[in-house]
Structure 1
Amino acid sequence: MTVVYDLEHVTTYRYRQPVTFGDHRAIFLPSLGYSGRILRYSLDTNIPAKVHWLMDTLSNNVAILQFADSAPELKVTYRIRGEHFGIQDVENFPLSERAKEVPIQYTPDEWIDLSNFMRPHAEDEDGSVAAWAKRFVAGDRDDALDVLDRMMDEIWNSLTYQSREAEGTQRPGETLKRRQGTCRDYAWLMIEALRRLGFACRFVSGYLYDEALDGGAVGMTGSGATHAWLQVYLPGAGWCNYDPTNRITQGFELLRVAIARHPGQVMPLSGSWYGEANDYLGMEVKVSIRKLGTLPEFPAAS
């Protein structure tokens, strides 16, 4: 089955008086690969902008916006119509035997390509993240999938989801100490813990499609907004999705936009402005995802 959807993401910055703007980076256009395709898209701003596109070091699509006019408000709207083919569960892939133990035995070529995703990025001054990670390995022959599932379940069961208006991501140790966080905090904690166990992990920014929204309800945590999860590289399966916020690894819910070594690399919209310190009045983000219909699967190749 293929889901056809419309997505709209509106970000509005407001100021006390007209301010000028530096360059802004917009990361909203998915690099979907086998999991979907984009039918059309648009990027609109309330003040004139010169836009040019680039592909960053991780092959994410990035739009650079340059503004010449000052204004008391900046409004940036992304619209996408796409098809989402869904994501298979990792257990449906023929995992290599070397992917089943911890630490995973990556080949020399894999290690070269994955080393930046294996090296911890966040500081762990008190060792709390490393100590927490070690709780999920019990012996010399731990099953990698069991470790991943246990860690995801622990985050789901022991931490409290807490939405936060402020930008940025908590340090993993802070999330453990506070016992709460956003989807970005959950994903970042799991990434940094797994890296300390020898897993190659990357941060994923995107959207969470929740079919309940089509009926006016909210059924999943973080739906109707930007969302974050992680991918783990498992030989034989490749990059596999793990969403600790909703404890899912497959299906049609996760719409990937961009991947990164750390969360700061894939902010949906970032940039600078120039004015008085007290001019900034706040930011508002509205995201809507609407399913237009479904298409039948292609017949299997003979």
Structure 2
Amino acid sequence: MAILYEVEHVTTYRYSAPVTFGEHRAMFLPRSGPYGRMLSYSATTNLSSRVRWIIDALSNIVTLIDIDQPGTELTFTFRMRGIHYGVVEAEAFPVEERAEAVPVQYTPDEWQDLSNYLRPHSDDPSGTLASWAKSFIVQEQHHSVDVIRRMLDTIGGTFSYQAREAEGTQTPVETLRTRSGTCRDYAWLMIEALRRIGFACRFITGYIYDAALDKGGTPGMTGSGATHAWVQVYLPGAGWLHYDPTNRISGGTDLIPVAIARHPAQAIPLQGSWFGNAGDYRGMSVKVAIRKLKTLSEDDGTGL
């Protein structure tokens, strides 16, 4: 089964006096392939602009936007419609025997291809993060999938989710110290912890579909109504598996991947520059709406 869905992603920046703008970069188009396909999309601004599209070094679709006029308000509206098949449940496929133990035994070719996702990126001067990661390897349940699941459940079940307006991502050590953060903080902590015990991991940004919002109800998923972030782990035999520590889910139909990265700074949904007095900035607002239009089956005539 698959769903036909549409997304409207609106970001507004406000200023007290007219300012000028530099180039902006956006990542909002879901990745094609086994997850689904795009049917239509658009990127518009309230001010006159020029839009072009590129593929970056990690095969993410990046939208480049040049703003042609100054203004006191700048709004980006991204719309898309597509078919989403969902991502494979992490436990759906057995891993190879060499991937059952920790650390995972990657082949020389895999090491070559995965080296950027195996090396830790952030500092851990006191070894606190490494020690915390090793605590999930227990004698009686040391299967790699069990280790990942215990870490997923610990972050999602015992940490305190704290949304914030400040840009950027906390360091993993800070998230571990405070036991709190956003979805990006949770994902980055889990990635850097798993890398320290031998897992190849990468950062994923995208959207999370929350069926409760289709009926105007209370959100059932933490992080819905905004962009979302989670983790991919590579296990031989199963491939890249999705883990969302914020909602304690692995795979399923709710996660819609947009961009992959070695670290969060490579996968910022929208970034750019403006020129004016520092005090002119009055803040920003983001609204993401994901609506399921219908459930599709093989006899719908969609070519699935």
Range class of TM-score, shorter chain = over 0.9
What residue is the counterpart of 1:280 in the other structure? Answer: 281
Q: How much has 1:88 moved relative to structure 2?
A: 2.1
What residue is the counterpart of 2:249 in the other structure? Answer: 248
Amino acid at match of 1:295: L
Q: Check the 8 A contact 2:90/2:243 in 1, yes or no.
A: no
SS, match of residue 293 in structure 1: strand
Gap runs ≥5 in structure 1: none
Amino acid at match of 1:169: T
In structure 1, what is the Cα distance between the partners aligned to 2:90 and 2:205?
Answer: 20
1:69 equivalent in alignment to 2:66:
no
In structure 2, what is the Cα distance between the partners aligned to 1:144 and 1:205?
Answer: 24
In structure 2, what is the Cα distance between the partners aligned to 1:297 and 1:179?
Answer: 45
Amino acid at match of 1:22: G
Q: How much has 1:297 moved relative to structure 2?
A: 4.0
Q: Percent identity?
A: 61
Render the CA deviation track for 1:45-75: whole Å, top value 9, x for unaligned. Answer: 1111112211111000001111221111110
What residue is the counterpart of 1:202 in the other structure? Answer: 202
After TM superposition, list the pairs within 5 Å mapping 1:1-302 onto structure 2.
1-139=1-139, 142-217=142-217, 218-297=219-298
Q: Check the 8 A contact 1:171/1:185 in 2, yes or no.
A: yes
Q: How much has 1:140 moved relative to structure 2?
A: 10
Amino acid at match of 2:225: G
Q: Check the 8 A contact 1:152/1:247 in 2, yes or no.
A: yes
**Range moving further from structure 2, 132-141 or 41-50:** 132-141
Count matched residues. Answer: 299
Amino acid at match of 1:229: W
| TM-score normalised by length of structure 2 | 0.96
Q: Check the 8 A contact 2:52/2:63 in 1, yes or no.
A: yes
Amino acid at match of 1:255: I
Q: Which runs of 4+ in 1 moved over 6 A?
A: none
Please report the RMSD computed on the Cα atoms of aligned residues, expressed in angstroms: 1.4
Q: How much has 1:112 moved relative to structure 2?
A: 0.5
In structure 2, what is the Cα distance between the partners aligned to 1:118 and 1:297?
Answer: 39
**Range moving further from structure 2, 140-149 or 237-246:** 140-149
In structure 2, what is the Cα distance between the partners aligned to 1:267 and 1:298?
Answer: 38
Amino acid at match of 1:254: L
Q: How much has 1:125 moved relative to structure 2?
A: 2.0
